[in-house]
Structure 1
């Protein structure tokens, strides 16, 4: 191998030290022990990627609420476009599709849809017969269209039987009569699905209330069980973070299309936690109007309207309901006021005002329950919440750390990912710990990355680096998530298959030495 330079030895020694788990970690003030938790994601707030089979029985399931589509005339070979993103004319004259040429579906039935434009308006037929425009601010019968589909080709018609067609002047008219074929005619369009959502709204509105209720009752009864709580307790986990949706406050009959029953499931979780000596964090994952437009916020179509006063007020009512019901339960550790508000569309002043009022609501019921506030997702510095003076006691800031969802990680190798944990994440956690403010909580992280074909030992090293970094957080950490269709996101799979080794209680000394030597070998090969 040749001469090993001092710098190479230094890098190797550093990696060994970084990968050796500490034997103990001090607890945060007021905590008997730091949180070592697991999220119950995909249980009481649906996320289709966690359990895709929930959506298998929905008819025409590739066209659910919020599905983004682009329509191309097969005759003109041009895209349908809402000029200026909506509010006026619709043309069929664009060679390339972008935001003005993308429409979000609102599903009325299996084959009836409304088309929402980029600016929020809806395509409208003006009662049929005339041109189609994008001038409707809210949908009704004139904005509802029937879609006939033949693979990726579609026809669009009104309830009166007339079809939409393109004109030589690149307009859309509702005056095609008769039955158009599937050749290159003026009433046939090519539909491209750009993006879709699979959350609570999509599931409930896709199945309809009765079938959705049956599906969700079975899911809530079986996806998470008392045996899972026993498993967690046996493997050193002391807390579960439980995402809930705002409609839980309206059980058993929440507003349509949401389905009741999540409150009874949450009650069961608290009972299981008490039996197995676990603590619970209630996490408001989905707020009315959606705080981030993602499916896990139960958004209908990806839009965000949470920051409006009415929705903020309604959300505070939900916090009041949860605090009143669980504040004195021995298993409650904390209430998280909102999950992942959008940095782009949720102004900091509105968020701070909400957090401050939410903190006071929780304090009305308990002086000791931890009030957890989540950093904004996107381009936002978590330090902004340390400067906000939300409350005076037992306040926690939740950070979510993933080596994913950003092109920065696309070509990063094993060593790069591990170095990122220590060079970027550790200093941030330490800086926030010393900020003389709220406690630090890594409320979501996962033993997954963008490294292709990584070995089990490489996953183990990555997981050990994260555990070492996040156990330094003053409040603790919580893995995302207990169960998942994707293996490395599944905590139980990671533990059972030893892809994630939970510190000295889960790893034998020979394995630790082997991992450290593997880390050395990786560094030496890359340097030399």
Structure 2
């Protein structure tokens, strides 16, 4: 949790502690391992505080490492999805958003506006046509926790973020389903909806949070994931391209 660490030891000490991690945790060798294992896309999480002045004690300095990762992806023949993993005030309250909270604070006018500011910084740099051979999508926000957020607010945020991106390029936009039935996005940002295009729905299938999931065999995990893919892709009411991430 970036907030907790930096709040505890201070921004400068936090940055000093994180730099060796940033320098060494991932290298081009890891990208080659992914390529050789048959993967074709790397989804890279980033926090808003890497691109705009943070609200709170976050340490900056991670942004150049995304540049390195994109270079490695190009060298190894992998593609990149850039994922805004942490939004101002936390979009889900989870630790991986950068700030563990009992309830997500993201969603008011200030936090939404600042999220768009951060996205513009990211998109101005990475949604350029000359990077589209590597950067194949930008995800506006990771896992907004819809049970604790206003659905209309999230939908409006997606709408505004999509058309802001289209002012820069036609780089595909990725929308997470918010851990709700993805049919709540049915008909949204489709060619019939103001001629929207290049929109991907992101669904995360977790099979580890519970004794039943932990006890499953590899074959059972794969079967469950494949069944979910068939369900989502065959439902005539789902109008997006589909990306499903499976964790087990």
TM-score for the superposition, normalised by structure 2: 0.88
Match of 2:78 among 275, 278, 283: 278
Is the 8 Å Cα contact of residues 323 and 365 (structure 1) preserved in structure 2?
Answer: yes
Q: 2:7 aligns with which of 205, 227, 241?
A: 205
Unaligned runs of 5+ in 1: 1-198, 449-528
1:430 is aligned, of 229, 233, 236, to 233
Deviation at 1:411, TM superposition (A): 8.3
Report SS of the residue matched to 1:365: coil
CA contact (8 A) 1:295 1:302 kept: no
Decide whether aligned partners of structure 1 residues 435 and 300 sit closer, same or farther in structure 2, where only a CA change above 3 A counts: closer
Q: CA RMSD in A?
A: 2.4
Alignment of 1:389-404 (within 5 A): 389=189, 392-404=196-208
1:358 lines up with 2:158 in the alignment: no
CA distance 1:211–1:234, change in 2 (3 Å)? same
Q: Would the aligned equivalents of 1:403 and 1:417 in 2 still touch at CA under 8 Å?
A: no
**CA drift at 1:291:** 0.8
**How many angstroms does 1:423 deviate by?**
8.4
Deviations 1:133-170 (A, max 9, x none): xxxxxxxxxxxxxxxxxxxxxxxxxxxxxxxxxxxxxx
Match in the other structure for 1:320:
120
Count of residues in Structure 1 that have an aligned counterpart in Structure 2: 241
Question: 2: CA distance between counterparts of 1:215 and 1:255?
Answer: 20
Q: How far did residue 257 of structure 1 move?
A: 1.1
| 1:337 and 2:140 are equivalent in the alignment | yes
Query: In the superposition, relative to structure 1, how do residues 431 and 202 fare at CA in structure 2: closer, same or farther (>3 Å)?
Result: same
**2:150 corresponds to:** 347
Equivalent positions of 1:241-260 (< 5 A) are: 241-250=43-52, 254-260=54-60
Give the structure with higher Rg (CA).
Answer: 1
Distance across 1 between alignment mates of 2:241 and 2:222:
25
Q: CA deviation at 1:420?
A: 6.2
Following superposition, the deviation at residue 419 of structure 1 comes to 8.7
Distance verdict in 2 for CA 1:364–1:422, change over 3 Å = closer
- 1:404-454 per-residue CA deviation (whole Å, 9 max, x = no partner) reads 2256x368654994596178524423334x436110101x213x3xxxxxx
Counterpart residue number, 1:240: 42
